[in-house]
Amino acid sequence: MKNIILASSSVHRKKLLKQLKIKFKSISPDINESRKKNEPIDAFVKRLSVEKATKIAKSQKNALVIGSDEIAVANNRILGKPNNYTNARKQLKYISNKVVIFKTGLCVIDTSSNKRLTTIVNYTIHMKKLSTSQIDNYIKREKMLNCAASIRIEGLAISLVKKMNGTDPSSIIGLPLIKLTEYLKKFDYDILG
């Protein structure tokens, strides 16, 4: 059986991968996550997931290395992690009554064959019109400073949403488990096998 390596230090991704009840190791890839000049958004998120997996795969034998990255986009503008309350407030005001698309890049590399599978999974959120008090109360009550667009959907952010649609709800938290299990199976790692 191949070793499963998650190329991430994200607590959210680790928690998601634990749902699959498989043994895995987590290693932080520590890459430069800056966007290149004029880089298209899809190319950007896919490149980051590939770079994360590739960096860790170089030092692993007989492993399946999982790289993933997520960005949120509203009106063609990338909304990263707010990192502070001022930015969170600005982001939430900006996305009020807008559509936010979460784009999650996924890359799985088999270090034995050097083959890799990559994709981007989109998930769309239609935000409610948010009042200043709703934004302030959300910010006070939710830990979301490390979440893209200040949206922690598995928490209180669900109350800010009109509707959501997409093929994989886990992708919005940062790791598309439906696609991941499909990719693992293609590399002869069936989690229920």
DSSP symbols for 14-39: HHHHHTTT---EE-------PPPTT-
Q: CA angle 87-88-92, nearest 5°? A: 115
Note if 188 is an active site residue.
no
Q: Is 93 helix (H, G, I), strand (E, B) or coil?
A: helix
Mention every residue, 6+ apart, whose C-beta is less than 8 A from residue 32. none
Angle between the N-to-C axes of helices 132-141 and 85-95, in degrees from 0 to 180, rounded to the nearest 10: 140
Which residues face 52 on adjacent strands? none
Burial class (CB in 10 A: 0-12, 13-18, 19+), 6: buried
Q: What element of type H or E holds 99?
A: strand 99-110
- Exactly one of 69, 136, 188, 190 is catalytic; name it: 69
Q: Where are the alpha helices (DSSP H) in the chain?
A: 11-18, 41-57, 85-95, 132-141, 177-186
Residues annotated as part of the active site: 69
